[in-house]
Each structure stands twice: as structure tokens, then as C-alpha cells.
Amino acid sequence: MSNHLCRPPRRRWPTHVLPLLVGLVLTACDSTPPDPTVRLTGATMGTSYELKLVPAPGQTVPADLQARVEAMLTLVNRQMSTYDPDSELSRFNKNPSTDWIAVSPELQQVVAEGLRIGELSGGAFDITVGPLVNLWGFGPEPRRDEVPSTAAIAQARERVGDWRLHARAEPPALKKDRADLYVDLSAMAKGYGVDRMAALIDTTGVGNYLASIGGEIRARGRNGRGEPWTIAIEKPEAGQRSVERLIRLGDHTVSTSGNYRNFFEQNGQRYSHVINPRTGWPVPHTLASVTVIGDRSMVADATATALLAAGPELGFQLASEHHLAAFFVLIESDGGFKERFTPEFEPYLLPQQP
């Protein structure tokens, strides 16, 4: 399993193959009447999407919903994937112009949100970190699994800095102050895709669903047994899938960013796919995962990555100051795990099993 995860197949989106969180529909053995849940799933963004739809009695899930979801996800990839060399974002990245470049309102919106979260994180989250991500082998090119040279890190770092990127809403356009700036939206695109899936489902009138892409999950209403959706936060262990905590999500979104799935090891040292834009190095392995609950999946996705990048102390301080519902799993010096969460997260936690 870990080999597989350490050497992911070529894919359009940079992510681990397995989701960080698993939506647990606690299906009953004795459920009467029968569970009406309709499950739709498919591949997207280097992982899979899943919809669990629970129509009300007499209500049906439109037959073309899956086709509409897939068409929308294809469009999102065409706009925002750095894994598609012809996507709108890839064309912006390749464009040497430092003038305003007209883009779709969707791309502009996601970039503007990325810049906002970058500011909130004090620079730990930076959507221009792509040259470093790619250098460390976590981008669209095949994995290298070795620490780059100091000179190469310094050179890539030169190109990073989101203060050189500007987003304008009217009319939608982006501008870079450096011709070789490179924007990477991988830390927030899955969440954005989940929000778009939820918006599509909302148009059908189905009011109970769980929508996810990889580890980004958005819930509404109740599951097929009429209960609130219950989600598992995974224990952050490579190659294993066990439950750290269960949460009752309500009509919210949850995202986990982890250091424990997408990484490589050299000389016993682990290097993960979240990079500190200041040092140019992967963030140290003292924080195993950060889970964020919010109202918008794109924001929770980006924020989870931002807090992970900010690290155990600064990240927790940011979460507390901004009253975020955040749950940190820290790695102690003896290798054990320690939980830490903000008061805003507490109401979602189910009591721990003895």
C-alpha cells in the first residue's frame, strides 16, 4: 500500500489515491424500510468522487445527474488543473505577459480565494508554491523521490510569492508581476469541485446527500436511515486505514490535509507534499494531519492545507484566532499521536469509543 502511495500513477491532479477521510454511512443490517440511498461514483482529479443521495419518499434522483456532474468536473479540470497542459490555468502559467490576462470568472474566484487564505495564513499557504512542489516531485511530472540540490531549491524559491499575483473580478482577470510565476490550485481544487457538485444536487431538490472528492466531504440533511451523517477522521498512519475520531457533520463540509499519505523517504527522513514556501522544504513531520470543518468545501480544503503548512504551533494559533473549527493530530517524540482541537470543533466530535 505505501509503495503504491509513494509512487502514484500519472494523473491529472496531484493527490493521494485514497481519500483522507471516509464517509461512513452506517448502513443497518436490519433497516426497514429499505435504504433509499443512490450512490454515484467515478474518477476525477487523480482520485474519485462519490455522491450518496437520499431522495425523499416519492422523489427521484434525475437520470442525467451523473452526466451533469461529470461534465462539470471535466470543465473544472479544463479551467484549473496544472495536470492538463492546455487548461486555462496552464495557459496562464505559460503566458509570459505581465499585463492583465482575461480568465473565466470561476478561475478568478478560486485564485482570489487562494490569495485570501494565503494572507490569512501569514504566507504559509501560497498558491504560487508550484515550482517548489514540482521540484520536490509532487507535481504533474513523474516522482523523483530524492531531495533536490540546495541550488535548485533556492532557484525555485525565487519564483514563489503570491504578492506577485493579482486577481480582479470585473472583468475577471489575473496578473503576475513575474513572467515565470506558476499557480498551483491543487490544495483547494477538490474542495471547489465538491462545492460545485453540491450546487448541482441542490438544483434537483434532493436535500439529503453526502458529496466528496478524495478527502473533501460536504454533507446535507440525513443519511438513508434518517440519521445525521457521521464521518470518520482517519488515524494518520501511512498504509493503514483506521478511525481516529468520528464526527457528526450536520450541514457542513470537512477537509483533512495530511502528511501521511503523499510523501517519500530518504535516509529515514520523510518528505511530504506540503511545502513551506519560505524555506522551500517540505513541512516537518511533527504535525500528522489537520481537519477543518466549515461551510464551503473549497475554503475548508485550502484552510486545512494552510494550517498544516503553518505547523503545529502557528497553525493552531491561527485556527484559534480566526475561530476555525480545526482538529490537529500531532506526532509526539515517541512516535505516538496527540489530538488538539479548537472549541469550535468540539460540538462535532462524537464521544470516543472506550
Site membership for ligand ADP, residue 83 (CB under 6 A): no
Q: Is 273 in the site for ligand ADP (CB under 6 A)?
A: yes
Site map (CB under 6 A) of ligand ADP, residues 138-177, x = contact: x---------------------------------------
Give the range of 1-9, 26-34, 143-151, 183-191 binding ligand ADP by CB under 6 A.
183-191
Rounded to a whole number of angstroms, the minimum distance from the CB of residue 54 to ligand ADP is 26
Least distance (Å) between residue 340 CB and Mg ion:
19
Q: Distance (Å, rounded) from C-alpha 309 to C-alpha 124?
A: 6
The C-alpha cell that represents 328 in the structure block: 490537529
123 belongs to the binding site for ligand ADP (CB under 6 A): no
| Options 277, 280, 311, 312; binder of ligand ADP; rule CB under 6 A | 277
Name the residue among 121, 98, 106, 100 with its Cα closest to residue 181. 98
Q: Least distance to ligand ADP from the beta carbon of 276, Å?
A: 6
Instruction: Kindly tell me which residue out of 80, 115, 153, 309 binds ligand ADP, with binding defined by CB under 6 A.
Output: 309
| Residue that the C-alpha cell 508581476 belongs to | 177
To ligand ADP, the closest distance from the beta carbon of 190 in angstroms equals 6
Site for Mg ion in 184-203 (CB under 5 A): 187
- 262 contributes a contact to ligand ADP by CB under 6 A: yes
Give the whole-angstrom CA distance, residue 11 versus residue 190.
14
Cis peptide bond prior to 33, omega within 30° of 0: yes
Q: Choose which of 49, 83, 92, 125 interacts with ligand ADP (CB under 6 A).
A: 125
Q: Tell me the residue nearest to Mg ion as measured from the CB.
A: 305
Provide the β-strand partners of residue 337: 331
301 binds Mg ion (CB under 5 A): yes
The DSSP code sequence of 39-68 is: EEEEEETTEEEEEEE-PPTT----TTHHHH
Longest dimension (CA), the chain: 65
Which of 216, 223 has the CB closer to ligand ADP? 216
Which contiguous run of DSSP H or E holds residue 296? none
Structure letter (DSSP) for residue 283: P
Residues in the chain: 354
Contacting ligand ADP (CB under 6 A), which of 65, 127, 183, 329? Answer: 127
- Among the residues of the chain, which ranges form H helices? 2-6, 65-80, 88-94, 105-120, 130-135, 150-158, 189-204, 297-310, 312-321
User: How many residues make contact with ligand ADP (CB under 6 A)?
Assistant: 23
Work out whether the CA dihedral 207, 213, 214, 216 comes out positive or negative: negative
Task: Provide the 10 A C-beta neighbour count for residue 30.
Answer: 4
> Minimum Å distance from CB 236 to ligand ADP?
12
Using the contact rule CB under 6 A, the part of the chain among 12-20, 140-148, 151-159, 170-178 near ligand ADP is: 12-20
By CB under 6 A, is residue 133 in contact with ligand ADP?
A: yes
Residue written as grid cell 454515484: 40
Return d(Cα 148, Cα 136) in angstroms, integer: 7
Using rule CB under 5 A, residue 272 touches Mg ion: no
The residues pairing with 24 across neighbouring beta strands, listed in sequence order, are: 230
- Smallest separation (angstroms) from Mg ion to the CB of 113: 12
Q: CB–CB of 51/211 below 8 Å?
A: yes
**Smallest separation (angstroms) from ligand ADP to the CB of 273:** 4
Residues that bind Mg ion (CB under 5 A): 187, 257, 301, 305
Q: Give me the residues that bind ligand ADP (CB under 6 A), please.
A: 14-16, 125-127, 129, 133, 138, 184, 186-187, 214-215, 257, 262, 273-275, 277, 301, 305, 309
